[in-house]
Chains A and B, each alone.
Chain A
């Protein structure tokens, strides 16, 4: 059980470090990057549940992200609710939405599922741009106020940072509990061998649907919080950049491995910043790193390590 102990120590160290970050750095720029990183990490971990565990490549995450952002912004600006109620509202709307969408498409073939989720994401973007009565179209909804709690305003980056941190910890804690439980065991079994799971008396559909819905709720709430970090929401909130970020984190880390995806999330946020020593080549180097990892480790870092382990064991058994 030493491995579990090391994991626990690592988690505690990371949490302490993250909690102290606003003290360690006064730079609003770095805090801002960290806030994005924490929220992206929660969304990526949710995608890992759908894609890595349940085996469903879902582009709908982008749509849920956008719907969540708009829901929390509209709840605050138009219905004069608090930020917290806005985020809950974002989760609730996504719960209903993902249930409806998931119910319709979860049984379709792999390719049909990808196309259907992609369509939903594009549709959400269209609605954000064209349903001017609700979303205010291309102009977006500016001036989102800082969240407050019992008279305390989270009005600086350093203060907002703790909202993002708390959300990330709760979301990842929940997802870890889920993925390491028997439910996670069955989910990953489904993505490995669907007919075998069925032949053992387990209907895959409720598991897949639940994973899809849980991920949608977390992604939606993440979007709801992120909008208030930007202080404005407009159709660019549904830019494919976000989906791409979530996917890169999951694929580089290794779909289906909880800790690998968490570490990849941290690395993918830090890497572009670490490369700032060479501003001109920054994105070029970032791209080269991504392509190299994908070429050498198509199953992600966790998948690569697993393949090495299996190869070693096979050799030992000969």
Chain B
């Protein structure tokens, strides 16, 4: 497998505090890669840098070989990398269909005059976009709410909607920031199934998440961050058995456990 996303030597400080320090990692094409680590280990900053919402202090980001370091967020998205937000973001006053239609790709070739005059090619593009939007809303199971404003959705439903919107422009890589945090536990498996189906259809994922069970069941590879850089990576099983990971999460407590076990 080749690297779809390649991050090299990423550094980012906020007024002297080093949030990310010389982080390097890869996301293979077609994979579901997890990114875990204790609070404050730099996961969210890394996502912000990769998706263009923060400028890098140093380092490079490549998407499928193309340098997207320090591109504007919109340019990163057009290059095929779409991110979602930890505090779920949707257009509250729009119904679900319009939420997705804002985000579609087929309109990209259309100019302002096409949109204003609603030319035939524009209407064709719109019909295509609408069909895709309906399919995606069906995929995340929100069809019965399709005409309701997004404001009526529950927190978990909004996360599903945000995911459907992320799929709209047919990205190659979707970066999910805590897709199941705050989601009803009974729904977590549904989310995993939806992500697996999308992955089978060719979309790669980088997922930041604290729910270890969710990550382990889903990911091909897990990257562990600690204090702003990569601590280790490997399959979920390898990572789970790595004593350094336990230590990163639990600190000295892990050593205490070891000592207790030795006795």
Q: Do A and B bind each other?
A: yes
Q: Which residues of A contact B (CB under 8 A)?
A: 177-178, 181-183, 185-186, 188-189, 192-193, 195-203, 210, 256, 306, 309-310, 313-314, 317
User: Nearest residue in B to A204 (C-beta to C-beta)?
Assistant: B74
Interface membership of chain B positions 101-139, coded 1 if the CB is closer than 8 angstroms to chain A and 0 otherwise: 111010110101001101000000010000000000000
Contact A199 B83 (CB under 8 A): yes
Min C-beta distance of B184 to chain A, whole Å: 15
- Chain A residues within an 8 Å CB radius of B90: 193, 196
Contact B82 A185 (CB under 8 A): no
CA distance A193 to B103 in the complex (A): 13
Q: Which residue of B89, B145, B151, B169 is within 8 Å of A310 (Cβ)?
A: B151
Known: A200-B169, A317-B152. A183 touches B89 (CB 8 A): no
Contact B77 A183 (CB under 8 A): no
- Chain A residues within an 8 Å CB radius of B92: 192
- Chain A residues within an 8 Å CB radius of B126: 182
Residues of B69-93 at the interface with A, using a CB-CB cut-off of 8 Å, are: 72-74, 77-78, 82-85, 89-93
Contact B165 A200 (CB under 8 A): yes
The 10 closest A-B pairs by CB, nearest first: A201-B77, A198-B73, A200-B103, A196-B89, A203-B74, A201-B78, A182-B115, A189-B102, A313-B152, A181-B115
Residues of B140-168 at the interface with A, using a CB-CB cut-off of 8 Å, are: 145, 148-149, 151-152, 165, 168
Contact A195 B91 (CB under 8 A): no
Min C-beta distance of B71 to chain A, whole Å: 11
B51 CB within 8 Å of chain A: yes
CA distance A198 to B51 in the complex (A): 10
Known: A178-B116, A182-B115. A199 touches B51 (CB 8 A): yes
Min C-beta distance of B136 to chain A, whole Å: 13
- Chain B residues within an 8 Å CB radius of A306: 93, 149
Contact B94 A189 (CB under 8 A): yes
- Chain A residues within an 8 Å CB radius of B151: 310
Min C-beta distance of A259 to chain B, whole Å: 15
Min C-beta distance of B108 to chain A, whole Å: 8
Cross-chain pair count, CB within 8 angstroms: 89
Q: Which residue of B77, B91, B145, B149 is within 8 Å of A198 (Cβ)?
A: B77
Contacts A193-B90, A199-B85, A201-B77 aside, 16 further interface pairs with beta carbons under 8 A come to A178-B116, A182-B110, A185-B101, A186-B102, A189-B102, A195-B73, A198-B77, A199-B83, A199-B84, A200-B82, A200-B102, A200-B169, A201-B105, A201-B108, A309-B149, A317-B152
Contact A189 B118 (CB under 8 A): no
Contact B107 A199 (CB under 8 A): no
CA distance A313 to B101 in the complex (A): 22
Among B102, B107, B116, B152, max chain A CB count under 10 A is at B102
23 A-B interface contacts by CB (under 8 A): A178-B116, A181-B118, A182-B115, A183-B112, A183-B116, A188-B94, A189-B102, A193-B89, A193-B91, A196-B91, A197-B102, A199-B51, A199-B85, A199-B89, A200-B168, A201-B78, A201-B108, A201-B169, A203-B74, A310-B151, A310-B152, A313-B152, A314-B152
CA distance A313 to B146 in the complex (A): 12
B25 CB within 8 Å of chain A: no
Min C-beta distance of A23 to chain B, whole Å: 35
CA distance A201 to B78 in the complex (A): 5
- Chain B residues within an 8 Å CB radius of A196: 85, 89-91
Among A178, A182, A186, A197, max chain B CB count under 10 A is at A182
B53 CB within 8 Å of chain A: yes
Residues of B21-73 at the interface with A, using a CB-CB cut-off of 8 Å, are: 51, 53, 72-73
- Chain B residues within an 8 Å CB radius of A210: 112
Known: A310-B149, A310-B152, A313-B149. A201 touches B93 (CB 8 A): no
Contact A195 B93 (CB under 8 A): no
Min C-beta distance of A171 to chain B, whole Å: 15
Min C-beta distance of B126 to chain A, whole Å: 7
CA distance A192 to B165 in the complex (A): 15
B220 CB within 8 Å of chain A: no
Contact A313 B148 (CB under 8 A): yes
B233 CB within 8 Å of chain A: no
Among A178, A200, A314, max chain B CB count under 10 A is at A200
CA distance A80 to B149 in the complex (A): 55
CA distance A61 to B169 in the complex (A): 36
Min C-beta distance of A27 to chain B, whole Å: 39
- Chain B residues within an 8 Å CB radius of A188: 91, 93-94
CA distance A193 to B73 in the complex (A): 14
Contact A192 B91 (CB under 8 A): yes
- Chain B residues within an 8 Å CB radius of A181: 115-116, 118
Min C-beta distance of A95 to chain B, whole Å: 15
Known: A181-B118, A192-B93. A198 touches B102 (CB 8 A): no
- Chain A residues within an 8 Å CB radius of B72: 198, 203
CA distance A203 to B136 in the complex (A): 24
CA distance A295 to B118 in the complex (A): 40
- Chain A residues within an 8 Å CB radius of B165: 200
